[in-house]
Amino acid sequence: MNTIRIWAALAATAVFATAAVAHPPIAMQAADASGISGTWNAAFDSQVGKQTYTYTFKVEGGKLTGHSKSNLGESDLAGTVDKDKVTFVENLDYQGQKLAIAYTGQVVSANEIKFKRDVGGQGGEEFSATRAK
């Protein structure tokens, strides 16, 4: 009878351990991009010098809209969110020329997004944006 209890306890422990591995705690799961609505700040060095940005994002479903404001100008933006991924295009008027800047990002936490951007198909920068306080 004791052998049956021991085997039952071992089986229960194995099931619990498997469930813990298959479904990690929420803190370990990737952040959700649907929660990025609001204001974000970033600063980084680029080929044209230091840039400072304020992004305002609004997420509805998988659609992202918003506005960017930098030391080089302002632009509306549009893109998408999917799980922890963020993509959008900023159409900047830079010194009288239209410049499409494509962003891809990953939400790291409720307060940080890591971005890569491609400026007019010529490459660009990697940086982090943080939620404005």
pLDDT at 75: 95
Predicted confidence (pLDDT) at residue 82 exceeds the cutoff of 80: yes
Task: Tell whether 13 is covered by a domain.
Answer: no
Burial of residue 99 (number of CB atoms within 10 Å: 0-12, 13-18, 19+): middle
Residue 53 sits in a domain whose CATH number is 2.40.128.120
Which DSSP state fits 1?
Answer: -
What is d(CA 33, CA 25) in angstroms, rounded to the nearest whole number?
Answer: 18
Task: Tell whether 23 is covered by a domain.
Answer: no
Burial of residue 36 (number of CB atoms within 10 Å: 0-12, 13-18, 19+): buried
| Residue 49 domain boundaries | 33-131
Domain total of the chain: 1
- 55 within 8 A of 44, measured Cβ to Cβ: no
Task: Tell whether 4 is covered by a domain.
Answer: no
pLDDT at 95: 87
Helix or strand (DSSP H, E) at 12: helix 2-22
Task: Tell whether 89 is covered by a domain.
Answer: yes
Per-chain mean pLDDT for the chain: 84
Helix or strand (DSSP H, E) at 79: strand 73-82
For the beta carbon of residue 111, count every other beta carbon within 10 angstroms: 14
Task: Tell whether 9 is covered by a domain.
Answer: no
Reported as a pLDDT band with limits 50, 70 and 90, residue 4 is low
- Residue 78 bridge partners (DSSP): 65, 89
Least confident of 2-6, 36-40, 108-112, 122-126: 2-6
Task: Tell whether 56 is covered by a domain.
Answer: yes
